[in-house]
Amino acid sequence: MSDTARPARDRRDDGRPEQARPRDRTGRPLPYGTTGVATIEAVEPATGADALALGVVRWDAQRYFEAHELLEHAWKQAGGADRELWKGVIQVAVAGVHLQRGNPTGARRLLDRALGRLAPLPDVRHGVDLARLRSIAAAALAALDRGEIPAADWGAFPVVDDPDRPDAGAPMSVLP
């Protein structure tokens, strides 16, 4: 096929390739012009804190694909142990995506990885209740081990509710 016969690739304003096809809520590409299907919302957060806040809202709505896309901003801006924290959080979100897509093998792999990353971290970091997140991941993994397919419902984003704890507070405060 000659270069002139190839269809034009979707590109961003800066010329880099980017898929412009709509995606369903689990991130699967849909045919151009698809209607009547809930699709992901394209958002351009202004700051890492905005991305984190939007990611938490998507998590709470069980929109784990969108949550993981937004939480990647936190991961990319974090350093040291915080990178492992956000990678682990993202991996739990992606495990939810795999369950929503009916892929228990993918969910199991991501839950294993997430638990490995989150295990050495304290129970609370930047207001994120990592003890609860590890419990959510472990329960889903145990269900998969029993041959069950758990619902991809992790509940509200795991933040610490007790304002008297030294590391309590919303996770939105950790990024510029």
List the chain domain ranges: 1-40, 48-174
Number of residues written out for the chain: 176
- Identify the three-state secondary structure at position 91: helix
- Identify the three-state secondary structure at position 125: strand
**Does domain 48-174 correspond to CATH entry 3.40.50.150?**
no
pLDDT tops 90 at residue 18: no
Confidence of residue 50 (pLDDT cuts 50, 70, 90): confident
Distance, CA of 89 to CA of 137 (rounded, Å): 10
Q: In the predicted model, what is the mean pLDDT of the chain?
A: 80
Backbone angles phi and psi of 124, in degrees to 5: -135, 135
Tell me what the mean pLDDT of segment 159-173 comes to: 59
Q: What per-residue confidence (pLDDT) applies to 69? A: 87
Backbone angles phi and psi of 128, in degrees to 5: -85, 125
Confidence of residue 175 (pLDDT cuts 50, 70, 90): very low
pLDDT tops 80 at residue 52: yes
Distance, CA of 102 to CA of 12 (rounded, Å): 31
Dump pLDDT digits (tens) for 78-136.
877 789 999 999 999 999 999 998 999 999 999 999 999 999 999 998 889 999 999 99
- Asked if residue 136 lies in contact with residue 158, where contact means CB atoms within 8 angstroms, the answer is yes
pLDDT tops 80 at residue 138: yes
